Structure 1
Amino acid sequence: MNLGSVDNRNAEIRSGKKVLEELTHLEIKGSNLEVRGFASVEGIYTRRESSIRKMVLIVPKLDVNAYREKDPILLGEKTDTEILDELTLKIPLENCMVAEVFDEDSDEDFEVEDPEFLESLSGYRGYIDLSIIAKGKPLEAGEYNVFITLEQLDNENENIKYEKVIPLANSRRFLNNTVSSTRLNYYSKQSVMKYNLVASFDNYTKTLRLKSTLLRSYDPRIMDEDDVVQENRYVRAIKKRVFQLAYSIFSMFPIKKNKVVFASDSRTELTGNFFFIYEEMVKREMNLDIKFLLKDNINERKSLRELTAMAYHFATSKVILVDDFYPIIYPLAIRNGADLIQVWHAAGAFKTFGFSRLGRPGGPSPRSRNHRNYTKAAVSSEGVRENYAEGFGITVDKVHATGIPRADIFVDEEYKEYVRSTLYEKYPELKEKKVILFAPTFRGNGQATAHYPFEKLNLKKLYESLSDEYVFVLKIHPFVKNKIRIPYEYHDFFLDFSDYREVNDLLLVTDILITDYSSVCFEFALLNKPMLFFAFDVEEYIESRDFYYDYFDFIPGPLVRDVNQMIDVIQNEEFETEKIQPFAQYFFDDTVGNAAANVIDQLIIPSLNDEGTEEEEEQAILPPAKSRKELFDRTLSSDK
């Protein structure tokens, strides 16, 4: 690559002025490139933000003539410089004082001691996410050189502008063994791409070189988690029609007055809200005909035989309970005299969902039938009824503030003690030190695009700062496709419990919760323990997803944007715990301990007592798990 084609002003700054410049920090953390340094025209130092600008240039290495031949009509009249300028990525850097760009433990001494220079805005810093740098996608496959550009106005005559492209000549010393490597991932409904990125020093151009290589690219719509081709869409369409036709036929059968169906596409065992509702039924010795239609995820195949059986049970049940998004049931017209009850898996109302996201990325079509056929819905408190009515696209009178059944454990002292003692016995490291639970939500528009930017966690710094007193337990959302890689030397500090199903059990042994936009904060508030919110992308999240409440006033704990702030809050115990109890009261009312009973009394029994359905022979229920302790033991034994 000809450096002159990057910027023909690069050779000299006019009037013979010298540029003072140096790169003081360069680090690649996951997909993030972090740079700090300074650049300024000697003797022309400014403290005005508008008078100086620095940018990172990521310039592709390519044969411009060969590239021009791809579209000679469009590119034929453009110069090499114009073509290269269009392909170059330009990322603005933040201006700062020179003193701010040196690492605290750096032993470097800058030779110039001119106070005017040191106090000017000659410094720069930037945190560049290479996984979204190319219009929201990773740095494309190819080789690139990285430069810093300086644009600076003369203090006395602002019509004079000094400009220069600066190679990162000392970047070599920041690279481990002269090379650093990482992975870049991209997730969307139509595409999953994985790249390998290698950073090295280019001996010819004397600057940082990046090489991006595409490792994998596929359409997730035709692949499942094990890379097995899913059903042909025409087969799925035929099955859907068969299911709906069967439902219509079975709707001519009488409804069974004592029949209750538990249906979920996100669990294979009766856990969460389902278990506590079922437990209450068993306690009351309610003689019901119970059917369980449970699948691990919405993409799991259902045979025609299964679909026919499901259609029969849905059509002949008095009560159908769902606990999450359940797409197969939404096109169905629920029969008169029957109820479809949503006992949503999450507490409170935090980030918007469902029809509250109309018009936003990942939001539903206005014509969507999702959620709209619920006849009743259970929520955690009176204050969130309207939010859930909006999200589900139903009228508010169908939404009932019963409380969240799975939260009943927080007043069950015997169960809480049993969970703690059992977890401590199996994982003694949880008892030996204080427990930090890291439980963020995913990024992306849904299950197909779910991921988490683990590069935002500086594992080394967390380990060095907190490992003497704490263990750091990770509970990553089950939708997240990419996995965190924990270096072996940190395994005594970072413990991955992401496969453990019930996060509420983990809350009972947690001393500090770190989350972001997850509803886990609601249940944890019932323990009146400190939490903090690692929301480095809150502005972006507000723009794309938004919240039912003002996020900054809503959260019952401090907001931190990077690992340094996270560590400071923990070490200085600045948790804002006075916000927790009012938060818990608003989002749970006084339902905790009675929520399962409320669902039975307010939603299920009124439906069962409706007249007009055929009386059936009563059948006793045999619970899948006989107690909360047994359910916990099953969950624990399936962990890891």
Structure 2
Amino acid sequence: QALKVTSYKLSDVNPLENEFTEDVGLDSVAMRAIKRRALKLWYRWYCLQPIHKKQISFVSDSRVTISGNFEFIYQELKRRNTDFKISFYLKPSIKTKKSWKEVRTLAKALATSRYVILDDFYPLVYPLHIRENADLIQVWHAVGAFKTFGYSRLGMPGGPKVQSLNHRNYTKALVSSHNIADKYAEGFGIAPDKIQPLGIPRTDIFFDEPKKQAIRERLAQDLPFIKGKKVILFAPTFRGNGQQSAYYPFEMLNFRAIYEALHEDYVFLLKIHPFVQNKPTLPYEYSDFYYDVSDYREINDLLLVADQLITDYSSVCFEYALLNRPMIFFAPDLADYMQSRSFYFNYFDFIPGSLAENTGELINQLQHPQVDQAKLDGFVNFFFDDLDGKSTARFVDALENNFEDPNAAELENNDGLAISEDGKIIPDWGKKAK
């Protein structure tokens, strides 16, 4: 006799069990504070060294692999065969232990890199004074502007303090549209002219048909249970004030009613926010319908195989809107959520899909999917300036050109004299005129 065991894991290799094994320990609060001070001191020391004009450092405390925006930017840099020197400084969590050598290496990178690129909250960098002729660029992991964040939440539960330094030292920040530039400037506490509406690199996937097909084929192998079924992706955001208190009220869903109504034709994938501490308790008899894919890092891949999306207040709706498919906003706790977390836009006018306030409405809408094409088109056109799949290319162009306006006049003429945009000569200090 033989026992066949099949694994539905989305990745056969866990980086934490390999090259990052020595880092899986956590630093205490006190040790993290000591290392923050040490990093500041080393940073000031390394600021005495020159900036390396071709150095790009990718920094994150929420991933150990090159994925999301980092992946698209890195691949484009490699495709162009640029002469940039690229380094990565990645950890799976803010609490993950950094050795003293790593702290010092990071301090040097932050002080001497021409570009430091972030994709998430990174508290180590916020107390630092960014050097002239260097850029700290936030490419952010989310798209669009939905629920308020950062300094837009001053005075609200879980909002920042007025004296907080978080986010304020970004010299550049990417957004998907000029229509939301003011929201990000407010949220990050930076000047509006530091916002770059070049598009979000990771959204390029939705315009790359060969890559989309390759991802679907890979997921068909990794998730064999989706074959022959309609796929529902459940991707809500967390409740609570932040990572430490994050949870999701799974009791709002009647899992049994959903199973009985849909299990013959559908599968139900749960992609729960990584901050959420509690997990749903699903009876074994539902195991042929409910599948937890929360450990899969790149949600955009899962969107490609989803026939319908269920979300609530998550920014995932922006990416899914690019697929022109039905989405349902399941929000039984909308009134309570609005009291603790406001939105940049009126929720009812904003959502590009139907609203379900209980499980019965959710089931009915899943069984009868609809798309309000006019509203969806207006939503996409407002939150995306360019629907061309070239956001990564525009960003790398900006890196190569030092974020100078490509339409501006050349800075120097043949005589080496600096020229202003209106054609006037800008004399150098103390330089003799020819």
- TM bucket (normalised to shorter chain) is 0.7 to 0.9
1:578 CA displacement = 3.7
**Contact 1:410 1:592 (C-alpha < 8 Å) held by counterparts:** no
Q: Which residue of 1 aligns with 2:314?
A: 518
- The 5 Å alignment of 1:321-470 reads 321-470=117-266
Q: 1:564 to 1:577 in 2, by over 3 A?
A: farther
1:549 to 313, 333, 345: 345
Instruction: Determine the C-alpha separation between the residues in 2 that align with 1:368 and 1:331.
Output: 9
Instruction: Determine the C-alpha separation between the residues in 1 that align with 2:129 and 2:312.
Output: 38
Instruction: Determine the C-alpha separation between the residues in 1 that align with 2:26 and 2:305.
Output: 40
Q: Which residue of 1 aligns with 2:104?
A: 308
**Contact 1:404 1:592 (C-alpha < 8 Å) held by counterparts:** no
1:478 to 274, 281, 303: 274
1:350 CA displacement = 0.6
Instruction: Determine the C-alpha separation between the residues in 2 that align with 1:399 and 1:604.
Output: 18
**Contact 2:325 2:371 (C-alpha < 8 Å) held by counterparts:** no
Q: Percent identity?
A: 54
Once structures 1 and 2 are overlaid, which stretch shifts more, 365-374 or 598-607? Answer: 598-607
1:230 CA displacement = 5.4
Q: Which amino acid aligns with 2:303?
A: L
1:229 CA displacement = 9.6
**Contact 2:51 2:111 (C-alpha < 8 Å) held by counterparts:** yes
Note the aligned Cα RMSD (angstroms).
1.8
Instruction: Determine the C-alpha separation between the residues in 2 that align with 1:229 and 1:247.
Output: 25
Instruction: Determine the C-alpha separation between the residues in 2 that align with 1:280 and 1:334.
Output: 26
Instruction: Determine the C-alpha separation between the residues in 1 that align with 2:169 and 2:254.
Output: 45
Please give the secondary structure, in 1, of the residue aligned with 2:401. helix
Q: Which residue of 1 aligns with 2:299?
A: 503
Please give the secondary structure, in 2, of the residue aligned with 1:606. coil
Instruction: Determine the C-alpha separation between the residues in 1 that align with 2:400 and 2:95.
Output: 29
Instruction: Determine the C-alpha separation between the residues in 2 that align with 1:519 and 1:310.
Output: 31
**Contact 2:26 2:96 (C-alpha < 8 Å) held by counterparts:** no
2:377 to 561, 565, 581: 581
1:231 CA displacement = 4.0
Q: Which residue of 1 aligns with 2:90?
A: 294
**Contact 2:309 2:328 (C-alpha < 8 Å) held by counterparts:** yes
- Please list the CA deviations of residues 344-375 of structure 1 after superposition, one character each: whole Å capped at 9, or x if unmatched: 11010011100000001111011001000000
- Please list the CA deviations of residues 84-112 of structure 1 after superposition, one character each: whole Å capped at 9, or x if unmatched: xxxxxxxxxxxxxxxxxxxxxxxxxxxxx
Q: Which residue of 1 aligns with 2:57?
A: 261
Instruction: Determine the C-alpha separation between the residues in 1 that align with 2:307 and 2:43.
Output: 49
Instruction: Determine the C-alpha separation between the residues in 2 that align with 1:416 and 1:230.
Output: 37
Instruction: Determine the C-alpha separation between the residues in 1 that align with 2:287 and 2:314.
Output: 25
1:248 to 24, 31, 44: 44
- Please list the CA deviations of residues 125-171 of structure 1 after superposition, one character each: whole Å capped at 9, or x if unmatched: xxxxxxxxxxxxxxxxxxxxxxxxxxxxxxxxxxxxxxxxxxxxxxx
Instruction: Determine the C-alpha separation between the residues in 2 that align with 1:421 and 1:520.
Output: 22
Q: Which residue of 1 aligns with 2:397?
A: 601
Q: 1:451 to 1:399 in 2, by over 3 A?
A: same
**Contact 1:529 1:577 (C-alpha < 8 Å) held by counterparts:** no
1:261 CA displacement = 0.3
Is 1:539 matched with 2:335?
yes
**Contact 1:319 1:607 (C-alpha < 8 Å) held by counterparts:** no
Q: 1:485 to 1:309 in 2, by over 3 A?
A: same
Q: Which residue of 2 aligns with 1:119?
A: none
Instruction: Determine the C-alpha separation between the residues in 1 that align with 2:71 and 2:28.
Output: 35
Q: Which amino acid aligns with 1:260?
A: I
Higher relative contact order (CA 8 A, sep 6+): 2
Q: Which amino acid aligns with 1:524?
A: Y
**Contact 1:436 1:471 (C-alpha < 8 Å) held by counterparts:** yes
**Contact 1:525 1:584 (C-alpha < 8 Å) held by counterparts:** yes
Q: 1:403 to 1:324 in 2, by over 3 A?
A: same
**Contact 1:444 1:451 (C-alpha < 8 Å) held by counterparts:** yes
Instruction: Determine the C-alpha separation between the residues in 2 that align with 1:387 and 1:467.
Output: 41
Q: Which residue of 2 aligns with 1:282?
A: 78
**Contact 2:220 2:227 (C-alpha < 8 Å) held by counterparts:** yes
Q: 1:591 to 1:333 in 2, by over 3 A?
A: farther
1:429 CA displacement = 2.2
Segments of 5+ residues of structure 1 without an aligned counterpart are 1-227, 612-640
Give the total of aligned pairs.
383
Instruction: Determine the C-alpha separation between the residues in 2 that align with 1:324 and 1:449.
Output: 18
**Contact 1:339 1:607 (C-alpha < 8 Å) held by counterparts:** no
Please give the secondary structure, in 1, of the residue aligned with 2:402. helix
- Please list the CA deviations of residues 234-286 of structure 1 after superposition, one character each: whole Å capped at 9, or x if unmatched: 43332221110100000000111111100001110110001111111111111
Q: Which residue of 2 aligns with 1:150?
A: none
**Contact 2:43 2:108 (C-alpha < 8 Å) held by counterparts:** yes
1:529 to 325, 349, 373: 325
- The 5 Å alignment of 1:61-100 reads none
Q: 1:604 to 1:244 in 2, by over 3 A?
A: farther
Instruction: Determine the C-alpha separation between the residues in 1 that align with 2:108 and 2:274.
Output: 31
Please give the secondary structure, in 2, of the residue aligned with 1:301. coil
Q: Which amino acid aligns with 2:217?
A: S
**Contact 2:326 2:370 (C-alpha < 8 Å) held by counterparts:** no
1:541 CA displacement = 1.4
1:607 CA displacement = 5.4
1:291 CA displacement = 1.1
Instruction: Determine the C-alpha separation between the residues in 2 that align with 1:397 and 1:273.
Output: 22
**Contact 2:398 2:404 (C-alpha < 8 Å) held by counterparts:** no
2:361 to 561, 565, 580: 565
Q: 1:603 to 1:360 in 2, by over 3 A?
A: farther
- The 5 Å alignment of 1:6-405 reads 231-405=27-201
Q: 1:265 to 1:324 in 2, by over 3 A?
A: same
Question: Max radius of gyration: which structure?
Answer: 1
**Contact 2:118 2:140 (C-alpha < 8 Å) held by counterparts:** yes
**Contact 1:353 1:391 (C-alpha < 8 Å) held by counterparts:** yes
- Please list the CA deviations of residues 208-230 of structure 1 after superposition, one character each: whole Å capped at 9, or x if unmatched: xxxxxxxxxxxxxxxxxxxx995
Q: Which amino acid aligns with 1:434?
A: K
